[in-house]
Amino acid sequence: MYFSLIDRITHLEPGSSIRALKALSLAEEYLQDHFPRFPVMPGVLMLESMYQTGAWLIRASEDFAHSMVVLKEARNVRYGGFVQPGQTLTISAEIVKQDETTTSLKAQGELDGQVAVSARLVLERYNLSGRSSEPPELDEHIRRRLRENFRLLYTRPAASSQVADGSPAK
């Protein structure tokens, strides 16, 4: 998937929290420009990976009820360290509060146990047909495509054979 800033969802607690990972590779072409002599994950892509992680938590929690789950606000996005090719960022997000249309989350990205980025995010969710003249079929189409993308990112653990975080039960 182009512009998926997460590679795998490792832990999902609907309505509550999520963990995902982003593996950074030299194969990602934009790194040639950021920076030519010091390739590191751009800060805004770290923000995007936190937003995408939060968005999947919301979608999975409401069974993809809304086609659009968008970033409304980001606050206090602080960068603590660089992510370099070959490193993997572990992103976590948890819901702080939620109403009919917005969700506030606390999110962070960790690298080897250190916080590389943290932020407070507000995400808004809606269907296009509710807000514009787009037909409901478009929302249905988007939701279906999103479910397919979700399956690429998350393998739901079987009840008996795996624990919630995807690792085999002991």
| Residue whose CB is less far from other proteins, 11 or 120 | 120
CB contact at 8 A, 53 and 93 = yes
For the bound state, the minimum distance from the C-beta of residue 32 to other proteins, rounded and expressed in Å, comes to 8
User: Which of 143, 95, 119, 112 lies closest to 45 in space, CA to CA?
Assistant: 119
Write the Ramachandran bin of 76: left for phi over 0, alpha for psi from -120 to 50, otherwise beta.
left
Task: Enumerate binding residues for other proteins (CB under 8 A).
Answer: 1-4, 29-38, 42-45, 47-48, 51, 67-68, 70-80, 119-120, 128, 138, 141-142, 145-146, 148-149
| Residue whose CB is less far from other proteins, 21 or 55 | 55
Asked about 34 being catalytic, the answer comes back as yes
| Residue whose CB is less far from other proteins, 136 or 167 | 136
CB contact at 8 A, 107 and 53 = yes
* 130 membership: H or E segment, kind and range: helix 128-131
Q: Which is the catalytic residue, given 11, 34, 66, 141?
A: 34
Known catalytic residues are: 34
